Structure 1
Amino acid sequence: MKKLTRTLVLLLTVSTIFSCSKNESVSTSDLRTVEDIIADFQNLVVQPGINDFALETLVNDTYWNFRVVAPADASANNLRPLVIDLHGASGGSPSAHKNTECYVETGLQALNAFVISPNAGFDEWYDSSNQQQILALVDLAKSNWHIDPNKVIITGYSNGGNGSWFYADYYPEFFSAAIPMASSYDPERGTGEVPEITVPMYVIHGEDDELFPVETTEAFVNKSRDAGTSIEFVIAPGLGHLDVCDYASYLADAVTWVQTEVWN
């Protein structure tokens, strides 16, 4: 199996050194190697359906917790897509990554994909610790499972929707499409620049979202469109921010869009 890309090795190493410099309790004797992570990932037993894993990181006794929903028929002759699903909210809920049933599994059913749902811990999705986790999991999965490397999607709800937009923005080489849901992500840089995001996006937003007003999200969509980003913007009539499960049918529509408009 392939090892992690040079980009991932560098990201892992730099992030770990940075983390250790902020936390004097982590000594060099507590550090593992990239090869340790690869070996542990390859030893995961992935069964069709739901699998919950804890993968030890480069620091001993520190883990990435994530759920994998695996297809039954993946093989060397039947490579499957990969979807990274970022959960909503933040604050360190140990079970946040397990909330996949009501809209993720249902909405993505037609895709028959590998789905990885990581746990953000106490950090935000854009923090370096989670950038390390998500990009490493994508690379590990593509290198060790029967995955089509050209069919990798990033999606998420609420805070996870913002995260999915962020990864499409900053790491376009990892993803072929992004599906932010109930999000509010300002694409403008601190310099005032709005870059073109090269990853095609399908943004879904509830008409009656109380936390992220639809007008604000629509303004961000238009700002990004004006910069050249390809975005399909869908407003879900009557949906508020807490109507998470009702997004399933809209996510299914997004899957059809990916299959017919992006991967076709």
Structure 2
Amino acid sequence: MKNQKFILTYSFLLLILLSCNKSGVFEEPDIAEPGPRTYEDIQKDFEGFDFTPGHNDVELENLKNEIWKFRVVMPDVDFTNNNRPLIISLHGCASCGISPDSHKFTECLAETGFRALDAIILSPNSNGKLWPTLENNEQVITLVDLASTYLPVDTDKIVIHGYSDGGNGSWFFSETQSSLFSASIPMASQYNTTNSGVGRLIPIPVYVIHGQEDALFPVGNVENWVNASIDSGSDITMVIAPDLTHNEPCEYASYLEDAADWLVNDVWN
């Protein structure tokens, strides 16, 4: 018993001595600071998400230690040898201020319109910034890469889609990041495809849906830009929704169903 007490006392004194400097002042042991966040860290975090059928609302820390919020809607299917299309769906009012739930507006439009595809739908949050900004450019490109790597995605069937500001973003990414996407479906959007009146070529097929009564983005402007781009060789289909205005996105779901048929029959066949 005395030996045990001696050993414990000796060990305690030794610990104190090792924790002191030569002046006898106690110093806490050095703790290594964590290194900068890497892309491997982001990959590991994404791979660790447990995506289940239905809505998966998750957060991911990026390289700048900022948080990306996004929703992944997984279809309830057997994924065995059955990779699915991936729809990147961009919400509207992207610069209306930071809203923690903007990316969750998927049910009445994207989920309804693309239901027949059994697609994976990924809806990011804009963090209060327009989609063409550098920050959101990085976010969209990164999420496409992560989803393509760690989810059962058919990489030949990745689509960029959006409504209002999201539709403008859909145009932007179809022009600037065309290697990532097989098609683009902008809705209720306005994107000038011309330089000095000459239309620019959009490298991937585009299916434009626009309301006849859209007062925010007049349909005539959109038609002019679409036609100018078509004259330069773009493959663009434009569908005008009679009587529909700008601020009723759920009413456009049937038009999005037609766009899904277009993907199957005209783009992916």
- Bin for the TM-score computed over the shorter chain: 0.7 to 0.9
Structure-2 residue corresponding to 1:174: 180
- Which of 161, 165, 168 does residue 155 from structure 1 map onto? 161
Distance change (3 Å), C-alpha of 1:32 and 1:154: same
Aligned positions, number: 235
CA distance in 2, matches of 1:30, 1:71: 37
Q: Report the counterpart of residue 73 of structure 2 in structure 1.
A: 69
TM-score (norm: length of structure 2): 0.84
Alignment of 1:20-99 (within 5 A): 31-60=36-65, 62-89=66-93, 90=95, 91-99=97-105
Q: 1:219 — aligned with what?
A: 224
User: 1:247 is matched with which residue: 252, 255, 268?
Assistant: 252
Distance in 2 separating the partners of 1:109 and 1:165? 23
* SS of residue matched to 2:258: helix
TM-aligned CA deviation for residue 29 of structure 1 = 7.1
Query: Higher relative contact order by CA 8 Å / sep ≥ 6: 1 or 2?
Result: 1
- More displaced stretch, 95-104 vs 228-237: 95-104
The Cα of 1:31 is off from its aligned counterpart by 3.5
Q: 1:29 to 1:129 in 2, by over 3 A?
A: farther
CA distance in 2, matches of 1:161, 1:188: 17
Moved over 6 A (4+): none
Q: Structure 1's 33 and 193: CA in aligned 2 closer, same or farther, altered over 3 A?
A: farther
Unaligned runs of 5+ in 2: 1-32
Q: Deviation string for 1:136-193 (max 9, x for gaps)?
A: 100110111111010000000000000000000001100001000000000124x766
- Give unmatched runs, 5+ long, in structure 1: 1-27
**CA–CA separation in structure 1 for the residues paired with 2:124 and 2:117:** 19
Q: What letter is aligned with 2:234?
A: T
Q: Deviations over 1:85-122 (max 9, x none)?
A: 00000222111111111111111100110000000012
Q: Is the 8 A contact 2:114 2:256 kept in 1?
A: yes
Q: Is the 8 A contact 2:199 2:225 kept in 1?
A: no
> Following the alignment from structure 1 to structure 2, what is the Cα–Cα distance between the partners of residues 39 and 74?
24
1:117 aligns with 2:117: no
Q: For residue 126 of structure 1, report the CA deviation from its aligned partner.
A: 0.2
Say if 1:43 and 1:188 are closer, same or farther in 2 by CA, change over 3 A. Answer: same
- Once residues 228 and 58 of structure 2 are traced to their aligned partners in structure 1, the CA distance between those partners, rounded to angstroms, is 39
Specify the structure having the higher radius of gyration (Cα): 2
**In percent, how many aligned pairs have the same letter?**
49
